[in-house]
A and B are shown apart, each in its own frame.
Chain A
Amino acid sequence: MIKREGEIRIPSGCAICGFINKSGKKVSGDVIVKSISYMHDRSNGLGGGFAGYGIYPEYKDLYAFHIFFEDLNARVETERFLEKYFDIVNLSRIPVKKVKSITDSPLIWRYFVEPISTKLAASQLDEKEYVVQKVLKINSDIKGAYVFSSGKNMGVFKAVGFPEDIGEFYRLEEYEGYMWTAHGRYPTNTPGWWGGAHPFALLDHTIVHNGEISSYDANRRFVEMFGYVCTLLTDTEVITYIFDYLTRRQNLSYTDVANIIAAPFWEHIERMEPNQREKFKFFRNTFSSLLITGPFSILVGFEGGLMALNDRLKLRSMVAAEKDDTLYVASEECAIRAICPDVDKIWSPKGGEPIIATLYEKEGASICR
């Protein structure tokens, strides 16, 4: 029998793209679908997905859980679990359109929830940690249930298929967001189920990634010390946990996170000013197990912002562009030109050099610190 993703580790090549409108102007989901469709050959029909931010303004203070269920039992059990820990304000099937090439769909449901205040207080956890623990619990303990999106005012839509078909399937043209990211996957094996598709998300962090990191098991075994459980064995999953650990638990800025996971080489650090040198040395020593090696290009979405980062040798292609208030990033220039033919500026970011864009309204306000 073919093993499902999570039982084996599947290397993948990929296409990624994304954009953020820094003034907060909303853009319909079909724009990102068009962008990723131009990189059709970078996917092989075995996985794709999207993340949209600002798409649930009417429920913006509630956690939006998107959940795959393999059967009714999984849904019943999950809902019993959710009712125990959360107030469920709204629940519904996620509307989809039948598309010929998308088959074997699980049940796909959406819940807008908030933690039950007494339960939250009794747990002695902060709210985000409470939510993370419940999400990880469902994913590891309830058979046939998988929470694939759990942030506020954002959502992930993913499936097995080509990304443009997946966009059509989820009717993304009906959603509007200030930021979108997309992923088309080229796995070497069939993932066997939809949970293996990307983006991978935890709270408002979503990650799309192209690459195959060689540090995977060193990173996995380190983050698992802090309660994360890697159930999918994918790079994207462990990178998401690293971001969650460093930004939420260690309170580091996204720039610092980039300096840890794609740390400068020692020979570069030796040439820095003494203050900088000490800081970088401290980071590399303290978080040495979170250094990521091997090729990657990632887009990290978070509430109000987007970060793009290449591995420190730049072993994967990644192009960035700007037009007015919008930052675009993609694996190939064509995906940007497809939706914005006349950019103001286009460049290829250096390895290990993060590009971070945030909403103007968030500027000045410190992000994660």
Chain B
Amino acid sequence: MPINYIYPEYEIIRDKNKCIKCKVCVRQCSNEAHTYDEELDCLYEHNERCVNCHRCVALCPTRALKIVKTDHTFRENYNFTGELINEIYRQAESGGVLLSSMGNPKPFPVYWDKLLINASQVTNPSIDPLREPMETKVFLGKKVSKVEFDENGEVITKGYPNLELSMPILFSAMSYGSISKNAHEALARAAQELGIYYNTGEGGLHKDFYKYGKNTIVQVASGRFGVHKGYLEAGAAIEIKMGQGAKPGIGGHLPGEKIGEDISATRMIPQGTDAISPAPHHDIYSIEDLRQLVYSLKEATNYEKPVIVKIAAVHNVAAIASGIARSGADIIAIDGFRGGTGAAPTRIRDNVGIPIELALAAVDQRLREEGIRNEVSIVIAGSIRNSADIVKAVALGADAVYIGTAALLAIGCHLCRDCQSGKCNWGIATQREDLVKRLNPDIAYKRLVNLLTAWNHEIMEMMGGMGINSIEALRGNRLMLRGVGLNEKELEIFGIKHAGE
């Protein structure tokens, strides 16, 4: 029954006049979308295998290739779109859960694009970052609430362990397993050079990367893969992963075929076995259990490292964050529903959770109302796309942001969203040796450094325009934002006025 034939979404267009039959495309495509027939001396395109990752397009020496969206169509239907129809065919065929990768691509509102930033005119001066100091240094962690002095007036209070960042940006958690070793190396080296942090994700820390420990956040997730004393001690901070924006309420699954020798050793599980992270932590069924894990980790590391608790942005996020702030956590990381993933059930990725912009505004406001905003720092994730998003996030109340997708884009990801296949042609979301070696960490780390250096310059320019010369004076400074095209309720949640008001 040929119902299961699905016409390819994208078509490879080869300009035969330009093509010199060098066969780079054949060699480069791990999906085998290009083949060569020697007898006929002819190149063929297999559109059904193409994931539109642009590897062949980028490497074709004569620019003979392009990928276009097919004009093949079902009868137009606003309700049952072609995508939905095909998904039903696929599930009717397989009986399985649909899987997707990277962040939610659906046309939900992107609130960042409905927030506008202020600038100084006449009544106060803007500040030129080329001529005056412009500070983006950030500390993450709990703050002292009462300062004590000795009889000579010297401060005797010791602060809590904090992370010090040169700019309000961190690389978010992406495990060794979900991404390649070379990708990890690029992130670690970039974090070290920039004076920021990268995050191991739940896959443990490869033995070669302990040397980047000062710039590493080590994650403890529900599967506890790769967690041991040395691991906890290696990092600058420990993150308890309670949830992920792309798949709130869901665990993780790294298939056995990706568990080779190296990953097996790093995760501390046998080669070839599936690495399954349970949906909940089985020692955390409530908020008081979280407190016990937070303090267990602090005990294990002598109270020298801040503990981050990462949650997905869900409906009741403000109350949950407030509970976490009272549970000993030093930093709360909130991941919005557009956050990326190496693989998640499609329906969950596209329908569960809330936008990070609203979650951030609600959490920051709630913690202030409760008078506990100083107990924790807030780091947000879940689709920070550029420096303006960061400025808006800080003005809403974030201390810093995690970037994941943007960092991968910087090192070559083309957002084809096929990570779950493990055949990433750019050497990022794959463990196949021939593909991994395509990603040169020497070049990749430099590109990450470039991207964040550029963003930091842009942040400084925007701050200077507002007459602000230190990032802490921007944090929670919502008067610097106006909404455009937002309704009363949205403005109320953001705590901002509409443009023109």
Contact = CB atoms under 8 A, between A and B. Distances in A.
A2 to B, nearest CB: 15
B468 A294 contact: yes
A103 to B, nearest CB: 26
Contact of A11 (B124, B133, B476): B124
B472 interface: yes
B418 interface: no
B208 to A, nearest CB: 32
B124 A294 contact: yes
Contact of B125 (A218, A222, A315): A315
Nearest to B158: A282
Contacts of B478: 217, 221
A221 B476 contact: yes
Nearest to A212: B124
Interface stretch (A163-171, A249-257, A301-309): A249-257
A290 to B, nearest CB: 9
Contact of A218 (B127, B155, B472): B472
A313 B127 contact: yes
Interface in B143-162: 143-144, 146-147, 149, 153-155, 157, 159, 162
A211 B124 contact: yes
A250 B147 contact: yes
A250 B146 contact: yes
Given A222-B476, A265-B133, A286 B143 contact: yes
B374 A214 contact: no
Contact of B123 (A188, A218, A263, A284): A188
B124 A225 contact: no
B474 interface: yes
A250 B475 CA distance: 22
Contacts of B159: 282, 285-286
Contacts of A250: 146-147
A226 B466 contact: no
B114 to A, nearest CB: 19
Contact of A293 (B146, B153, B468): B468
A224 interface: yes
B467 interface: yes
Contacts of B96: none
Contacts of B55: none
Nearest to B481: A217
Contacts of A292: 473
Majority secondary structure of chain B interface residues (helix, strand, loop or mixed)? loop
A214 B476 CA distance: 12
A218 B120 CA distance: 16
Interface residues of A, number: 44
A219 B157 CA distance: 23
A293 B469 contact: yes
A313 B131 CA distance: 11
A73 B371 CA distance: 35
Interface in A201-235: 211-219, 221-222, 224-226
Q: Which of A13, A188, A252, A288 has the most CB of B within 10 A?
A: A288
A289 interface: yes
Nearest to B501: A8
A267 interface: yes
A193 B492 CA distance: 27
A9 B479 contact: yes
Contacts of B137: 266
A313 B468 CA distance: 11
B373 interface: yes
A364 to B, nearest CB: 13
Contacts of B283: none
Given A289-B472, A294-B468, A313-B469, A11 B139 contact: no
Contacts of B374: 225, 289
Interface string B157-191: 10100100000000000000000000000000000
A265 B476 CA distance: 21
B473 A251 contact: no
B302 to A, nearest CB: 20
A128 B345 CA distance: 59
A217 B124 contact: no
A217 B123 contact: no
B470 interface: yes
A224 B133 CA distance: 29
A49 interface: no
Contacts of A263: 470
Contacts of A284: 472
A291 B471 CA distance: 10
Contacts of A267: 133
Contacts of B123: 11-13, 188, 212
A313 B464 CA distance: 13
A295 interface: yes
B467 A293 contact: yes
A369 interface: yes
10 contacts: A213-B124, A215-B473, A217-B476, A218-B475, A222-B476, A225-B368, A225-B373, A251-B147, A279-B154, A294-B124
Interface of A: 9, 11-13, 188, 211-219, 221-222, 224-226, 250-253, 263, 265-267, 279, 282, 284-286, 288-289, 291-295, 312-313, 315, 366, 369
Given A286-B144, A294-B468, 20 more contacts: A12-B123, A213-B124, A214-B120, A214-B468, A214-B477, A215-B477, A216-B477, A216-B479, A225-B374, A251-B147, A252-B147, A253-B153, A282-B144, A288-B139, A288-B475, A289-B472, A291-B470, A292-B473, A293-B467, A294-B124
Query: Which A-B residue pairs are the 6 nearest by beta carbons?
Result: A215-B473, A217-B479, A214-B467, A288-B472, A212-B124, A11-B123
